[in-house]
């Protein structure tokens, strides 16, 4: 499965036009600008709005907080943050910053006698559509590491495949067929009177999405097993058995 095939004209095996038996959805020569291309884009938006898969995670981002600045700007392709940690300081060592709600952090702000938020090492963060915001104003340039879920580049003539088309083509197909049924204005039961309709494809999409998410969670989370040592950044040394 790839962009070229999906948006190709009727008669091309695997194309949307072929699956719904309607040439109007990908008029010759197919590709960008056709209804088929718009359906692929909407299907991608539907998938990426719900799925949080480890294949959507780029390498960790590193940087340093700015002293006196209570936020950092995350990568522009961030869908959702995953993990945030101050990596090393001379006094405190490393510290994991926990994600909390905006309201919870605003309530925790502490002010000095001049009405300014107290500067100290941050403990937590919340995020909005622009920044990752800290519970405290950093009192020095703390180095950090940050992981997040990335918005994949959209399929196109220059980016014909991605991890969904390669590893989860059935999920992509179900999302596409559900949207194609909407375009055809067919009932929820059949597409053009024959074959499964929107309701079927919607149910199948939910199943494929859940299976992909479960596989990712198992691969990503199952490694957290056995004793873990905690050091200066977490208080006294101790071990905790997990799993």
Encode pLDDT of 196-223 as tens digits.
768 888 999 999 999 999 988 887 775 5
d(CA 43, CA 45): 5
pLDDT of amino acid 234? 45
Q: Is the pLDDT confidence value at 239 over 50?
A: no
pLDDT tier at 232 (50, 70, 90 boundaries)?
very low
SS3 label, residue 117: strand
Q: In the sheet where 78-86 sits, what is the strand order?
A: 61-64, 143-150, 78-86, 95-96
Q: Where are the beta strands (DSSP E) in the chain?
A: 61-64, 71-72, 78-86, 95-96, 98-99, 124-127, 132-134, 143-150, 190-191, 194-196, 226-230, 238-242
pTM above 0.85, yes or no: no
pLDDT tier at 236 (50, 70, 90 boundaries)?
very low
SS3 label, residue 56: helix
> CB of 43 within 8 A of CB of 205?
no
Query: Hey, how many other C-beta atoms are within 10 angstroms of the C-beta on 198?
Result: 20
Q: Among 40-49, 111-120, 138-147, 219-228, where is mean pLDDT lowest?
A: 219-228
> CB of 168 within 8 A of CB of 212?
yes
pLDDT of amino acid 231? 47
Which helix (H) or strand (E) segment is 136 a member of?
none
pLDDT of amino acid 48? 95
pLDDT in tens, 151-171: 999 999 999 999 999 999 999
d(CA 138, CA 92): 13
Burial tier of 65 (Cβ tally within 10 Å: 0-12, 13-18, 19+):
buried
């Amino acid at each position: 499965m790839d962009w070229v095939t999906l948006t190709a004209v009727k008669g091309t095996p695997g194309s949307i036009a072929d699956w719904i038996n309607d040439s109007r959805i990908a008029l010759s020569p197919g590709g960008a600008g056709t209804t088929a291309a718009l359906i692929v884009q909407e299907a991608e938006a539907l998938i990426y709005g719900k799925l949080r898969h480890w294949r959507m995670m780029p390498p960790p981002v590193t940087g340093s907080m700015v002293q006196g600045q209570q936020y950092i700007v995350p990568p522009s392709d961030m869908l959702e943050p995953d993990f945030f940690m101050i990596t090393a300081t001379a006094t405190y060592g490393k510290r994991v910053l926990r994600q909390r709600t905006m309201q919870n952090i605003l309530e925790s702000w502490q002010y000095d006698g001049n009405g300014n938020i107290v500067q100290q090492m941050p403990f937590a963060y919340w995020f909005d559509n622009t920044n990752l915001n800290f519970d405290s104003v950093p009192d020095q340039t703390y180095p950090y590491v940050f992981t997040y879920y990335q918005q994949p580049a959209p399929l196109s003539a220059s980016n014909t495949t991605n991890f969904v088309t390669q590893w989860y083509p059935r999920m992509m197909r179900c999302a596409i067929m559900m949207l194609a049924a909407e375009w055809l204005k067919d009932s929820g039961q059949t597409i053009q009177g024959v074959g499964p309709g929107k309701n079927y494809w919607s149910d199948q999409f939910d199943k494929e999405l859940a299976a992909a998410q479960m596989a990712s969670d198992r691969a990503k989370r199952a490694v957290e097993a056995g004793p873990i040592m905690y050091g200066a950044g977490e208080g006294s040394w101790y071990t905790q058995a997990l799993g």
